[in-house]
Structure formats: structure tokens, C-alpha cells
Structure 1
Amino acid sequence: MLRRGLVLLATMSETDTIESVLQEVAESVGQLERFHWQFEVLVVDDGGDEAFREMCVRLGSAYGLSLQVLDGPRAGLGGAILHGFEAALANPNIEYVVNLDADGQHDARQMGDLLRAHVAHGADITIGSRWTRGGRCYGLSPVRKVLSRTSSFVLHFAGVPKHVKDPTTSFRVYNRSTIEKIRRELVGFGGFSFFGAAVAVANARGLSVIETPIIFRPRLGGDSKLRAGQVTRAVRDLPMIRSVSGMVARREKGFLGAAHGHASPAEYNASRELEVLSNTPTSTRIIVDELLPRIGATVVEVGAGLGLITGQLVQRGRTVTALEPDPNLFGRINERAAGAETHNCTLAGLPQSAVFDTALYVNVLEHIGDDIAELVETRKHLAPGGNVVIFVPAMPSLYGTMDEVSGHFRRYRRAELTSVLERAGFTVDLIHGFDAVGILPYWLSYRIMRRSTLGGTAVGLYDKVIIPLSRLVSRVTRRRGPGKNLIAVASPRP
């Protein structure tokens, strides 16, 4: 049986090392062909050097490789690897992705060792480990060895399983299905944080991660791309890796299953919950006040629900097209939003000729699995000079019972939402937190008490106390602090 794979090299135009690396890749690919493996090679170059890309194509041809070079997204190492993952998934023949560095510290001739272990153990991710038994590390200075071992240890508190000794190395084998399951949650992680996050998210999804020993060599040439800022960022990202992996684990394991005496997901009634929120006129008005200065004259509101926001926009002189795919909710929009044009569909249901000054998503994007594809579609419906305005739940650490029963795929990180917008072809004009005061009450209600319905005095408290106080805090802090939600405004890139 022929197995097909992709060798992924994310580079910064490493002209000093790429020839040796591709030579070793070609040697390994040739050996693997005898065992019914067939590999293509993809170079994702973030360095922007046209001569380097031509060099890669020339070398690939000389070594008999099926090689392609893609221009990187200029979003760091993590962004370049995700770009490569997307290219791999676009090819239905690719079953495995082997990722390794382009500086020569990974010996591509050890690909066979990783693949044998991967297949033999039925693993989802196989890591070429410097620190497992049999591994060797000659390519790190004493200081970098200490940093690597320390970060590996600390990552065990951020969702990386304890049997994984080297979660920060990039020499790995991924199954196609593994990439499909973890790639979205890795958006926004960069540098060495990306690799730890990949293992933590895979573990949270119940995937198998194993290690096999490798020899880690000194660089074959050029200067190391490691900078002090990357180390600082990796340390800073540890709590976020923990919160994201925790969110994924709660979502996967059915966090609501541990709750007692509350509604099950099957009993969740969107119309009922939105009806409860319709009794929050103060908070609705404050949210619209926050968004209105960035909303143009013509608006498409995606996921209008019962028309709570729609009605406010119409009253304030906007021409609104409200979209709601749920037929039970759609029939009631006009109760609060007379004067708006309404459609029982998603954005994809509009004709391509329909364009607007603003596309508005209020508590909607978190319900969409492929939010990047959604925002790519959004761009097609924006007039010149238009924008997208987004209000979403934030802080993955808050993901609890209400998120689960509401069908939330995620709560967003600031870096994640920024990266999502950029990957969809937008430039972020502003992004900031909203509702700092609501963080603790939400955590107590839906993480600790595990409530799964709205109602009671809590809704009145939210409307008349928490949101007004949060607006005051935002003004005092000039919107620089954290928030239970995120507000983002972005414009299409030319």
C-alpha cells in the first residue's frame, strides 16, 4: 500500500543551509520510496527573498524532488507552519506531514525513524525528541539547553502530557486527521509557543502523542533565529496555552455532563435565552454605543437573533439587512426591528452583488466552526472603504456550561482574533476588551456553579450594574484592560 506524505520546511530564506537540508531530504525520500512511501516537499518562505525561492526550485529539480515553494504569510513561525498545513489539507492525497527545521539541526535522514514509530504505534503526532532516552543534543549551547529543558517542564502544567519530554521541537510527524482537529486552536500562537500548544491541544482532544529519539546537531550555517523576545513571548504564552487546552478539554469531554440539575444541551432553547436577554435594554444600548461609531450607513447584521441589536441600529438611522438562519428566530425579528430588510439565511445566501459599508457580528462568530472562511466571504460583501465590526466572547479560561449549551466553538484570545482577521485578508484597525467587571461573575456562574441557563436576578444585575460599571472601567483604563468580551474592527487589505 502506497502512503503519501508532505515534507514541510518553514524558512526565513535560509540560503546557507537549504542546499544541505534538501539533499538530506532527497536521500531520505529516496530510501522511503523503497518502503512504499511517496513524499512531496513544500517550502514556506517567510523571508521574502525571490532568489532563495528560485534556488529551492532549482535544487528540488536537481535532487529529483517534487517541490513547491509558497510565499509565507509573514505571521511568524507558527503562521508559516499553519500556512503549510492548509496547503497539505488542500491536497486530498496527503496523509502525513513531516515538519522539520530548515537550518540543518534536524537530520532529515531520520525521517524514517519517526515514520516507523508513528505507524507502529498508531500515533497521531510523533515527536523527534532530544530529551527522551536515546536522544542526543549537540546543537544547543548550555544556556539554550537549560531554557529548553525548563520550558518542557513548565509546559506540563499547561496541558502537555508528562510523558512528552520535548514538546518544543519542530521535528514531527502529523496525521492528516490530526492537523484537521488541532489547526484552528493554534491560530495566534507563534514561535516556540506554537509547538507546545500543538501538543497540549492534541492531548486535550484525546489524541496520541509519542516520542522517538533524534540527534540534534549544530546549525549547518547561518545565524540562529532565536531572539530574547521569542523566549519572553514563549513564557508569556504559557498561561494562554493552558487556558486554550483547558477550553478544548472541557468542550471535548462534555463539561456540562458534570453539572447537576440544569438544562442539557438538547434542552437549550435559543429563543428562550434571547428572550431573557431582551429584558436587558441598558446593556444592549451600551453595547450598541460602543460599536456605533465604527458602523457605516448600510449594515449587514449576520445572525440577528430576535433583532435586539437590529432594532437599535434602525432607530439610530442605519439601513440594516438582518440575516438569521434559524427559522424560529427569523420569524420574530420584525417584532423589534421593523424597517430592517430581513433574510432567513447566512451570508452565503446573499447575492454577490449585495455590498454594505459594515458587516456586523455580535455574539455570532463563536458559533461558526470555520470563522476564517466566514470572514473571507464577508470581504466579498463590503463596499470600498467598508469594515467588519465584531463582538465576541473572550478568555478561553472562562469557557463553561453556558458556552457549551450555546454551541460556542470557542472563546477568543486577542492574538487569535487578530490572526483570524489577518488570515481572512483584513487589517485590524482596533481590538480591545469589554466587560471587565463581568469576568468574575461569569466564572463563578458558569465554571464554578456550572449553571446552564439565563434568568433570575442575575440578568437584572448584569443589565443594571455590571455592564454600566464595565463601561466606566473601560473609559478610565482607556480600553486597555481585559474583558469578558472582545470588540474588533477591521478593514479589507487592498
Structure 2
Amino acid sequence: MKLSVVIPVYNEIHTVGEILSKVLQVDLPKEVIVVDDCSTDGTREFLKQWEASEAKRSKDQIRILLQPENRGKGAALRAGFKEATGEIVIVQDADLEYDPKEYPRLIEPILDGRADVVYGSRFLGTPRRVLMFRHTLGNKLLTFLSNLCTDLNLTDMETGYKVFKKEVLDHIHLKSNRFGFEPEITAKIAKMNYRIYEVPISYSGRDYWEGKKIRWIDGLKAVFSILRYNFFDSVTEDIVYQTLQRMKKLHRYNRWIFSEFQPFLGRRVLEIGSGIGNITKFLLDRDLVIATDVDPMYLTFLKNTFGQYKKFLIGNLDISGSELEPYRSYHIDSVICFNVLEHIAEDEKALKNIFDILEPGGRLLLFVPSQRWLYGSLDRHLGHHRRYDREELRKKLEDAGFRVIFLKYFNRIGILGWYLNSRILGRKKLPSFQLKIYNLLGPFFKMEGLLPLPFGTSLLAVAERPE
């Protein structure tokens, strides 16, 4: 695998040449991306000369990026990440506190498939320079607060050595411009459920007269960043992902949906569009579960969450496509398709493919949004092609060859919230506080079965492939 080494630099004229030399000495296939954050001490001029002379001699690809103004470490790293082409990205400070000889140890958990992210910990017992107790105490307090918010057990959240699979950085929307990068990236990879490893590293901390830039005010800003990125910020700008994360917390609602289908569920299950596993988690007692999606981010999430279970398989499946033959050999007796069919342009083809995958007597458990007149801004931003009317859905199922066992409306009270947010207020996503209230009132909504009115936010369907 190719390594991308991203080095943010600001006023490091006394150390930048040596650190670059040490990086190039590491015998790994790599590119070196140096991002100068508008240095004023001659670093910028040195880098231009160094690039012109060293780039011709080095076997590694070297690129120098010059920020137009001083924007901070976080902004410099974003610029470097954007240009990185390697499968693995490592952050390297330019101040000689971290030794590039550690690279093989840092990337090992990613190379052998154990990790998506690796932190190099200064506090796991390897040789280090003894220096500044108050800084150590501050680091441990910040790590403790971060762990409290993320439920991780890191020993060194603020470490300068962080290593990522490139796909991890591609999936995360970073915002912090300065030293808030460390708590921000930690909060967001925790929310994404990426596998994180720590490995011990050596550390040669420097004093302020040597150029150390962290001040006490940065510690206070880090506390603010920990709280902000854990509780008040989204991991990504992807509205579908944000919605899935919000729905993940609706435990009563998700259990309610699953309980409606559970009596019809077989032992060998294919789930189409598993997302982040909000329904998948209810399938642990099945004999075989194939959880699928088309989004690489969700597939990574599913592998990290369910990959340790031998009876779980994770696969990339476009149910409206033609690569279905491998799934027929699993003798699927149940297909779960919850809030997915409305995202598929060729829904009739998808239903026919599901029919073909199922064993005779197998069942499709289908959950879709209903009421065409409810279609609005929420649907558009979630990528819905349509909402379904009851008889329309019945006809599509029967045209695909299914025998409809039952078809009913679900979540009648939810129509009010969807109409308000989607048709009147024109929102992009459902507000978190509304969803939390809805989840709390979930037990009362189950009483809707006592009065089966001919409308609802969604449609539940169970359809069978005839013997």
C-alpha cells in the first residue's frame, strides 16, 4: 500500500529540513505532502528551494502546498488530505517531536486488517523525553474528557501521530481550522464506528524556547471542541447518513417496526440496504444474515459492527442490477427491504430480482413511505424517487410474481410531523428533538392498531414467492 505523509508546517525553519530528511529515509512506498501555513520565518522560501532540488533525487513523490494565508493546523491538514493519493494517510508534525522511524509500527494494524485508524500513544511505556508535568496532566485531562464523550478508552487523544485509511478521511467532513483537529477527528471516527488501535511510540517533546506553540488557551479551546464535535456537529454533510444516525437512537420505534415483521421472518436472511445496521442488530439469532449496501462507507460500518459474527456476511449488492447469481446459492428464505425501495429508480426490476433470489415459499418483508401527497422536501433530500399508494404497491408486488400476505398502513400519527416538516417548513431533515419526543411516546402509538384508519406515514408489506 502507498503511504501519504501529510506534514503541516508553520515557522519551523530550524527543524523542517531535518524532519523531511528523516521522512524520506523511511523505506516505504510513499508520497510526501508538505503544507506551509504562510510561514514568516523563511520556512516557505526553504521549502521552495528544497522541492526544486530534492524532488529530482528522491524516489518518493514530493509536493509542496502553500496556503495563501495563515489558517491553522486543521486547515493545512484538510488541504493535504485533499491532495493525498495513498491508501494510508499519516500526519507528521514538523517539529522533531515524533520520529518517522515509527511508521512501520504505526501502519501495521491497518496493513494486517485489524484497524481503520491508528493513534500513536506517548503514554504506553516506550522511551520518551521527561518534560513538563503540567502538559502531561493537561493531555490526560483532555483525553479523559474526550473518552467520556466518545466512550473510547484512548490513552493519548492529542497525539500528533494519527494514521488513517484514506477512505476514512473521504467519509468525514472536517471543519476545525486550528488545534481543534485532534478532538474533532476523534469524535467523528468514534461516531462512525471505525476500528481504532493505539500503538506505543517514542516522544521527544520540546520546550517553548525550542518553538513549542501550544498554549494554555489552546487547552480551553480543546475542551470546547470536544463538546462541540461530540454533541453539536455532524460527522458528514450527507443527509441520509445523518438521518440514519438519528434513527439509530429511536430504539422503541425500530423495535416496533421489527416486531411487526418478526412472525414472518425465516432463518436465512438477506437484508437489502442495511445502512448502519439499525435493523440488522435485531437479526443476531438467525442462522445466516447477509447484510448489504451499495455505499462503501456503510459497508465499512457494517463490517466493523457485524464482521466478527461468523453467520454474518457483508456484501455490496445493487438489487436493481444483474449480479445476483452468487446470492442464489445461499438459499435465502427471507429478504428484508426497509426504507430502500423508494431510493431505487427501477423499483419494479428490483422487486423482480428479489423474487428470483428467494427460495420458493420465501418471503419479502417490505417497508416503504406511503401517501403520494406527502412527498416534499424531506423526500427530495433523502433521495426518494417516490412515495407509494397502497394499491400501487400491491400491483407492483403481484406483477413481480409475489402473493401478498398482508399490506397495511403504519405510523399514522407520524403524518402530522412529516407534513409539517416536509410540506410546510421545507426542511432537509427531521429535527432531533422531535424524533426524541416521538421515540418516548412510541408505546402509545402502538395503540393505532385498535383503530385501523386507511392512511399512514408508511406501508408494511409481506409478500411470498409461491411454492
Bucket of the pairwise TM-score, normalised by the shorter protein: 0.5 to 0.7
When residues 140 and 80 of structure 1 are mapped into structure 2, their CA distance, relative to the original with a 3 A threshold, is farther
1:70 to 58, 65, 73: 65
SS at match of 1:101: coil
Structure 1's 450 and 239: CA in aligned 2 closer, same or farther, altered over 3 A? farther
3-state secondary structure, aligned to 2:92: strand
State the shift of 1:269 in Å: 4.8
Name stretches of at least 5 consecutive residues in structure 1 with no aligned partner.
Answer: 276-302, 307-322, 330-362, 365-389, 394-401, 404-410, 412-438, 457-494
Residue aligning to 2:82: 86
Q: 1:267 to 1:131 in 2, by over 3 A?
A: same
Task: Say which SS state the counterpart of residue 232 (structure 1) adopts.
Answer: helix
Mapped to 2, the partners of 1:137 and 1:253 lie a distance apart of 45
Aligned match of 2:199 in 206, 212, 236? 212
Counterpart amino acid of 2:92? L
Q: Secondary structure at the match of 2:17?
A: helix
Q: Distance in 2 between matches of 1:253 and 1:391?
A: 17
RMSD, aligned α-carbons: 4.1
Distance 1:45 1:270, change over 3 A: farther
Counterpart mapping for 1:160-199 below 5 A: 160-162=151-153, 164-181=154-171, 183-184=172-173, 187-199=174-186
Alignment of 1:255 with 2:356, yes or no, is no
| SS of residue in 1 equivalent to 2:175 | coil
Residues 53, 69 of structure 1: 8 Å contact kept: no
**Alpha-carbon spacing, 1:238–1:326, altered in 2? closer, same or farther (3 Å):** closer
What aligned pairs does 1:408-447 form with structure 2 within 5 A after superposition?
442=434, 444-446=436-438
Contact 2:9 2:94 in 1 (8 A): yes
C-alpha deviations, 1:65-112, integer Å up to 9, x for none? 421111237442222212211111xx3xx1111112111111112112
Tell whether the 8 Å contact from 1:168 to 1:192 is kept in structure 2 after alignment: no
1:120 aligns with 2:115: no
8 Å CA contact 2:250–2:435 kept in 1: the answer is no
Distance in 1 (CA, whole Å) between partners of 2:369 and 2:439 is 17
Change beyond 3 A, Cα 1:274–1:11: same
Residues 1:271 and 1:124: Cα distance change in structure 2 (over 3 Å): same
Q: What one-letter code is carried by the residue in structure 1 that aligns with 2:64?
A: V
**Match of 1:210, SS?**
strand
Tell me the residue number matched to 1:12: 10
What TM-score does the superposition give when structure 1 sets the normalisation length? 0.50
Query: One-letter code of the match for 1:45?
Result: D
Determine if contact 1:126/1:209 at 8 Å carries over to the other structure: yes
SS, match of residue 2 in structure 2: strand
Determine helix, strand or coil for the equivalent of 1:230: helix
1:25-63 alpha-carbon deviations (Å, 9 max, x no partner): 1111xxx2xxxx311100112125595334224334337
User: Which ranges in structure 2 are unaligned for 5 or more consecutive residues?
Assistant: 236-240, 259-337, 340-366, 388-420, 449-467
How far off its partner does 1:327 sit?
7.0
CA contact (8 A) 1:191 1:234 kept: no
Partner amino acid for 2:369? Y
Q: Distance in 2 between matches of 1:326 and 1:117?
A: 39
Aligned AA (1:251): Q
> For 1:165 and 1:326, how far apart are their aligned partners in 2?
43
2:369 aligned residue = 268
Residues 1:444 and 1:115: Cα distance change in structure 2 (over 3 Å): closer
The change in CA–CA distance for 1:18 and 1:242 in structure 2 (over 3 A counts) is same
Tell me the residue number matched to 1:201.
188
Map of 2:451 onto structure 1: none
**Which residue of structure 2 lines up, in the alignment, with residue 238 of structure 1?**
226
Structure 1 residue 449, shift from structure 2 partner: 3.9
**2:331 — aligned with what?**
none
The letter for the 1-side match of 2:115 is A
Q: 1:109-137, CA deviations, whole angstroms, 9 ceiling, x for partnerless residues?
A: 211221234323531111111012x3344
**Counterpart contact for 1:100–1:170, Cα < 8 Å:** yes
Distance between the aligned counterparts of 2:370 and 2:131, measured in 1? 56
- Quick check: 207-216 or 69-78, which moved more? 69-78
Matched positions, count: 292
Q: How does 1:364-375 map to 2 (within 5 A)?
A: none
How far 1:13 sits from its partner (Å)?
3.3
Most deviating of 142-151 and 119-128: 119-128
Is the contact made by 2:8 and 2:37 (CA closer than 8 Å) also made in structure 1?
Answer: yes
Report the CA distance between 1:197 and its aligned residue: 2.8
Secondary structure at the residue paired with 1:216?
coil
Within a 5 Å distance, the mapping from 1:211-360 to structure 2 comes to 211-219=198-206, 222-243=210-231, 244=233, 251=245, 254-256=248-250, 258-259=252-253, 260-261=255-256, 265=339, 266-269=367-370, 272-273=373-374
State the Cα distance separating 1:392 from its structure 2 match: 6.8
Give the secondary-structure state (helix, strand or coil) at the position aligned to 1:267: strand
Structure 1 residues 206 and 69: alpha-carbon distance in aligned structure 2, compared to 1, 3 A threshold: same
- 3-state DSSP class of the match of 1:84? helix
Partner of 1:433: none
Q: Is the 8 A contact 2:180 2:225 kept in 1?
A: yes
Alpha-carbon distance in 2 for matches of 1:449, 1:75: 46
Taking a change above 3 Å as real, the CA distance of residues 448 and 49 of structure 1, as seen in their structure-2 partners, is: farther
Answer whether contact 2:157 2:182 (CA < 8 A) is retained: yes
CA distance in 2, matches of 1:202, 1:449: 31
Instruction: Tell me the SS of whatever aligns to 2:112.
Output: helix
Partners of 1:17 and 1:222 within 8 A in 2? no
Please list the CA deviations of residues 320-368 of structure 1 after superposition, one character each: whole Å capped at 9, or x if unmatched.
xxx9997769xxxxxxxxxxxxxxxxxxxxxxxxxxxxxxxxx89xxxx
Q: Using the alignment, how far apart are the partners of 1:250 and 1:224 within structure 2?
A: 42
Q: 1:447 to 1:24 in 2, by over 3 A?
A: farther
Encode CA deviations 1:367-404: one digit per residue, 9 max, x unaligned. Answer: xxxxxxxxxxxxxxxxxxxxxxx9877xxxxxxxx46x
Distance in 1 separating the partners of 2:144 and 2:371? 43
